Chain A
Amino acid sequence: MSSIILRAGTRYLAALLLLFSIYMLLRGHNEPGGGFIGGLIGSTGFVLYAIACGTGDARRALRLMPQNIAVAGLGIALLAGLFSVFFNDPLFTGQWLFINPDPATGDKGLPLSTILVFDIGVYLVVFGSVLTLTFAMEEEI
């Protein structure tokens, strides 16, 4: 599709969608969102880019092969699940670390967890898989 308006608009829209997808990923634990939704939103950014500028440009912009991203996501999720082995917990038990908790106000501090790592894995899997499929469809059919 050779529409200069769409191409110009896509530059900003795709960037915004990517940013928004990360926002959705991070807020997911307490508000609507999460890795799955984040991955879908992120991939729509690149799908839009592929429609506007062609899959060649989209692939170059992505730099990595989407299937590699998906497999890497699966690996990250697995590692997050295996991490509990070090704490003698069953597989996929979430491990948490709170930085600077303040018991006076009841603030738990900055939470870091394997749960977030797992969610990032989910994000990458969805993101990579959708783009694998879309790019292949656009190129091959």
Chain B
Amino acid sequence: MLDTIVQKLQAGERLSFDDGLALFRHPDVVSIGRLANEVRERLHGDRTYFNRNMRIEVTNVCVASCLFCSFAKLEEGAPGAHTMRIEEAWRELEARMDDPPGEIHIVNGLHPGLAFSYYEELLAGFKRIKPDVHMKCFTAVEIHFFATHYGMTYREVLERLRRAGLDSLPGGGAEIFHPSVRTRIAHDKATADEWLEVHRVAHSLGMSTNATMLYGHIETFEHRVDHLLRLRALQDERGGFQAFIPLAFHPDGNGMRNLPAPTAIDALRTVAVSRLMLDNVPHIKAYWVSMTPEVAQIALCFGADDIDGTIVHETIYRAAGSRSPGALTAAQIVRLIQEAGRVPVERSSLYDVLREHPRASLPEAAVNVRERKATKHLEVLS
């Protein structure tokens, strides 16, 4: 079964729905990882990207009632509901100007009571504090909400926000596209087509975006492959996706708390299959907040070439019981990457190389692998 897939990969041929299913179902995750690693090394060699970013969630008030979410509170005034005053949000950046992040990543609840100008002002204020900071803000679900709530088209929303300082869109809110899952876990927010249309419009405006998939809950492998293929089809149009980020479902404190979380084997397999199926998406991200830094390190050998960033202030996975640390320092991320035998590359939000770190302080074993690799074609790495 794997043989035909190997042949296709060697011939540079695109994998089919059935291939994707076979990869998810194959019992030997290490062999799948090896295949994904070959593709990853063909694309990126040993380079492994990270950035200095910070996350801010300005409000957790949300009109949507997604089953998997432990973060959102339905109404302003509900216990635990919180909306930052705009100056509070800015202060998060001001407090870090001695070692400022290159990117601010803002994801929010769908707040029904804020004016659209709140968001414009929010973006503009960050740019006033640090003009070159990259604003990666608002998922497609939020953009869709803004459009319907404030009576604008996607294009109008995106253009106004861009004028205020928006640089790119994060990939959140994709969850699982297939309607038989989406209607059960996220019935009252942007549909799959709406999510994809927001990204289509963003790409047409020349804006880069990311894409995600929330896996490991009630969806089947068929739903995952379907999800990947919908993304691949949109990517064929304009190539605006920079990175794909598989997100593991975490069950604490949400409407699916009776489900077990997906295991590390599933995380590695999903990274690997994503790398193999999404032949037109440049980067696959091992989001360490979702999979723990330890498993993320392994994922760098299973198809991922990006490990996200320093994060600093993640609250969404925290609320769902993730035991990953809230932040990693750049030095910790560099070591995490080096321990995998890779070359850490600090990048901008648009994947410009800011600094390539040395292989120094690598484990002895990885150094030796390195030296040997120099002479061998398509050797896979530890």
Are A and B subunits of one complex?
no
Question: Which residues in B have some Cβ–Cβ distance to A below 8 Å?
Answer: none
